[in-house]
Chains A and B, each alone.
Chain A
Amino acid sequence: MALSDSVLDHLRHVAALPDLTGTRYELESEIGRGGLGVVYAAHDRQLDRRVALKVLDFALAGEARLIARLEHPAIVPIYETGTLPDGRAFYTMKLVAGTRLDRYLAGSPSLAERLRVIRRVGEAIGFAHSQGSIHRDLKPQNIMVGEFGEVYVMDWGVDAVEGTPAFRAPDPSLDHRSDIYSLGALLRFMLPVAAPPALRAITTKAMNADPAARYSNAQALLADIERFQEGHAVEAWSEPLWHRLRRFGSRNAVLLWLLAAYAAVKFLLFFLRNV
Chain B
Amino acid sequence: MNKILIGLLFGLVLGAIDGTTAWFTPEARPLIGGIMVGSSIKGMLVGLLSGWFARKVHSTKWGVVLGAGLGLLFAFIVAAMPSETGKHHYLEIMLPGFVVGAILGFLTQRMGPPHPAVIAE
The reply, when asked whether chain A contacts chain B directly with Cβ atoms under 8 A, is: yes
B33 to chain A, nearest CB (A): 20
Judging by beta carbons under 8 Å apart, are A265 and B96 in contact?
yes
- Report the stretch among B38-46, B99-107, B113-121 that lies at the interface: B99-107
Decide if B59 is an interface residue (CB 8 Å cutoff).
no
Query: Could you say which residues of chain B place their CB within 8 Å of the CB of A262?
Result: 96, 99-100, 103
Majority-rule SS of B interface residues: helix
A-B interface pairs (CB < 8 A), number: 35
Judging by beta carbons under 8 Å apart, are B103 and A269 in contact?
no
Decide if A106 is an interface residue (CB 8 Å cutoff).
no
Judging by beta carbons under 8 Å apart, are A266 and B103 in contact?
no
Query: Could you say which residues of chain A place their CB within 8 Å of the CB of B100?
Result: 262
Task: Enumerate B30-87 residues with CB–CB distance to A below 8 Å.
Answer: 60, 64
Query: Could you say which residues of chain A place their CB within 8 Å of the CB of B24?
Result: 266, 270
Interface 1/0s, chain A 244-269, versus B by CB < 8 A?
00000000001100110110011011
Decide if A273 is an interface residue (CB 8 Å cutoff).
yes
Question: Size range of the interface on B?
Answer: 10 to 19
- The answer for the CA separation of A259 and B100 in the assembled complex, in Å, is 8
Query: Could you say which residues of chain B place their CB within 8 Å of the CB of A270?
Result: 24
- The answer for the CA separation of A254 and B102 in the assembled complex, in Å, is 10
CB-based nearest B residue for A262: B99
Query: Could you say which residues of chain B place their CB within 8 Å of the CB of A261?
Result: 99, 102
Decide if B21 is an interface residue (CB 8 Å cutoff).
yes
- Answer whether A255 and B96 are a contact pair too, CB < 8 Å, given A270-B24, A273-B25: no
- The answer for the CA separation of A259 and B107 in the assembled complex, in Å, is 12
- The answer for the CA separation of A269 and B92 in the assembled complex, in Å, is 6
Query: Could you say which residues of chain A place their CB within 8 Å of the CB of B110?
Result: 255
A257 to chain B, nearest CB (A): 10
Give me the interface of B with A, judged by CB distance under 8 Å: 21, 24-25, 60, 64, 91-92, 95-96, 98-100, 102-103, 106-107, 110
Give me the interface of A with B, judged by CB distance under 8 Å: 254-255, 258-259, 261-262, 265-266, 268-270, 272-273
Across the A-B interface, the 6 shortest Cβ-Cβ residue pairs: A262-B99, A258-B103, A265-B95, A261-B99, A269-B92, A265-B96
